Structure 1
Amino acid sequence: MTADADRSLTRDHFDQVTRVTTRWSDNDMYGHLNNAVYYELFDSAINAWLITLGEAEPMGSSTLGVVAESGCRFFRELEYPRPLDVAVRVERLGRSSITYALGLFDAEASEIAALGRWVHVYIDRESRSAVPIPPVVRELLEQAVAAR
């Protein structure tokens, strides 16, 4: 997508939207959300979605989804105290990896404030070698993609 197309994304372009609330400690010395907070919100939204979709026990699973790549394009500032919407969609399902797009929105505004990219690679907990995406995860995410 182009920068202009990225800025035109709405919540409707995503598979899942989660409402969160900012915290006092999320602000930096400039009075807006610290950049690291965006990544915390992205990570939490993806994992909450996977857990609510039915990925049984991520802490006890024999496979782990680890972050292999991440990035963020910032379009407008966000600050405390604000409710935010964190939106997630599957961009690509590979053999052992999933690429997500993440939108961050002020809950009271329609325009996107930030667009994230997140790549999970599934690995074996013991050997740390790449493994296929667990069938339950693949099935659930394929259903989300098909429902668009």
Structure 2
Amino acid sequence: MEPSPTSRLALAALPGSVRAARRHVHDHLRLWGLPHLIETAELVVSELSTNAVKATGFPTDSPSYGELSNGLNAICVGLYVAGACAVIEVWDSSDEPPLRGDADLDDEGGRGLLLVEALATRWGFRRVEGGGKVVWAELKVETQ
């Protein structure tokens, strides 16, 4: 039996890393023969990594030297196939649980986890020994 495909990518906790997370998921799903999951997986990893950056990073891709004096946090994107699901995981160093927003109709943000909930078969989070949390989402692997 072949091992399940697995991939991890560590990124700086900066807004521009969200694009790199999407590209990582896109490339690996194509490589693994799961192109039909790409669009949904890109949306899910985008929302999860955006939340991770907001929880632990800088609001800009160009923080000042002074802002960096305490260091630059990281996020980590994981992707693997487990049985009939592709699992997307995003780790950040915050111990705070993810919260679903109650956005008003005219709000520009606050709907990320609602979108993840709508697209994923299941989603949740777990705290990690040593600090931080992993927010995960499962996408059903259905062949087209």
Short-chain TM bin: 0.3 to 0.5
Q: Which has the higher strand share?
A: 1
**What is the TM-score with the length of structure 2 in the denominator?**
0.37
Q: Which has the higher helix share?
A: 2
**What is the TM-score with the length of structure 1 in the denominator?**
0.36
